[in-house]
Chains A and B, each alone.
Chain A
């Protein structure tokens, strides 16, 4: 199912709020590192992966990348990340 876009029926004075998933206290299981394909995002994620692997040797880290930073991640990629991971870290860089 593709993402649905709707138009705001209000006077737009209040930002749209969204519910976020409860934050767990500990990092366990699978962690996704998502490179949005901005220049040097991979450099940042390399360092992060290194640090995370040292501190949390039991977590499994998987790297993902968006085809371009300027557009939302493709549906398939989002589903893949959601299905296979407990956490995701998305890197913005330049």
Chain B
């Protein structure tokens, strides 16, 4: 029930816009065609209109367009029913039941409200109005009408419409389905039961928390940023914000999460394959640019480990979006034979200031002042490269090359890519000889190269090139040196880690190129 009826404008069945000023003496009735009581009330409305329309503004509002047309055809009522199939006027007028008849006075206040049909009430109001307005009585045999009929639920309070209408009325950006957790239920247990969690507790994404999270971006909450495999679920900014709340993100992390989700939703990235592979691949997220400092990411000591909220929760939020919107769950479409801890979260920032070379994002075509997220698909790591002895760049890069040859298995050349994380002390050793990134890549390829004949499967290790195929190769072909990586571009290099410790690390890739996953970088829209 409402105390006032706000001004509105609705279209009638003749296609005319009808304005209600919100401040006049008026009768406003809400009806719905599939409600039997509304049909029984129609003759009253027809008689009411005939008797009083000359003296007072009368608006009959129907909640479905098809229903309005049907009523018009069945009753030829002499008025044209207004179309409120958007239900905004019904919602604003707080209509819970149809029929509801409001009478408003000159100031727009509701003076009478009739809900459903109680004959005595309707008859009383109509008689009062006829006498007040010096109008004829309604031409109606009241005794033929039922004494009492309950009304029906208004479509504006139907649960499938009410949340949306409330959100629109409040100008709220939230459109996601609301789930009520019973007061006897534990909300954390409920989230586990629903399968929303990665196995660790998640923060319940209440509307209040999600609204606060959305403060972190200027983008429209309903903007679709991508389609997430395997279910091909549409990912809106709102859904990302919900999962970011669950992961424990602060609102200022949201732009990073959005950019990472955009990156993994691309064909190049191929998240479907990344999740489905039995190999156990997972996104590894590297953040570059000013945002690293603005949100307090760890790029120094322990950067690849736990303990920093931004690193931990950004990676986790991306994983939760894949799980919840994309539907990739272990044992279902996520088929990794072992899984790996990166599947909880793997996100860190590059320590650009400790990097003597171009930072990752500049190398990948962005401006140094851009904030950028780059997403790689990795199956193992961080796997350490231990060298505390080398004092020259060549010697250290040689260790790195030899260690990287072990990726997958030593004979697996041209098989994948890697993300090499060089720690500061190793950077210093490399810079002692003014090594560039290109020098490092070249040396890795050089020291991981093997004659093709050494990569053939044998009794020591059956892995490698097929012996039958090798038997058909020329001596020259068997002597040809094969580096570990198909191209130097498969060696991605960043700098991170604490000042002390000669332990660089590498993440080992998955299938590369168009049949696998291609690393994707996206500028972060701050």
Residues of A within 8 A of B (CB): 1-13, 16-17, 19, 38-40, 68, 70, 72, 75, 78-79, 82, 94
Is there a chain A Cβ closer than 8 Å to B178's Cβ? yes
CA–CA, A72 and B194, complex, Å: 22
Interface set of B (CB-CB < 8 Å, partner A): 96, 116, 150-153, 157, 174, 176-184, 187, 191, 193-194, 196, 204-207, 210, 228, 231, 233-234, 238-239, 242-243, 246, 320, 324-325, 327
Is there an interface contact between A5 and B325, defined as CB atoms closer than 8 Å?
no
Give the shortest distance, in Å, between A35 (CB) and chain B (any CB).
14
User: In the complex where A39-B116, A70-B96 touch, is A9 in contact with B196 (Cβ < 8 A)?
Assistant: yes
Cβ–Cβ contact A94 & B234, under 8 A = no
Assess whether A4 is in contact with B325, with CB atoms less than 8 Å apart.
Answer: no
Closest chain-B Cβ to A80's Cβ sits at a distance in Å of 13
Q: Are A3 and B181 in contact (CB under 8 A)?
A: yes
**How distant is the Cα of A94 from the Cα of B37 in the complex, in angstroms?**
11
Partner of B181, one of A5, A13, A19, A38: A5
19 A-B pairs in the complex with CB atoms less than 8 angstroms apart:
A3-B182, A4-B180, A6-B178, A7-B205, A7-B210, A7-B238, A7-B242, A8-B179, A8-B242, A9-B324, A9-B325, A10-B196, A10-B325, A11-B231, A11-B233, A11-B325, A12-B177, A39-B116, A39-B151
Interface centre among B96, B177, B184 (most CB of A within 10 A): B177
Cα(A11)–Cα(B187), bound, Å? 20
Q: Is the CB of A4 within 8 A of B327?
A: no
Q: Tell me whether A7 and B193 are in contact in the complex, defined as CB-CB below 8 angstroms, given that A39-B116, A82-B184 are known contacts.
A: no
A17 to B196, CA, bound (A): 12
Q: Shortest beta-carbon distance, B320 to chain A, in Å?
A: 7
Q: What chain A residues lie within 8 Å of B204 (beta carbons)?
A: 4, 6
Known: A7-B174, A7-B206. 4 other contacts (CB 8 A): A4-B181, A5-B178, A11-B231, A79-B183
Q: Quick one: given A13-B233, A40-B150, A94-B152, are A4 and B184 in contact (CB under 8 Å)? A: no
User: Which residues on A sit within 8 Å (CB–CB) of B320?
Assistant: 9
B183/A78 in contact, CB under 8 A: yes
| Nearest CB on A from B34, distance (A) | 13
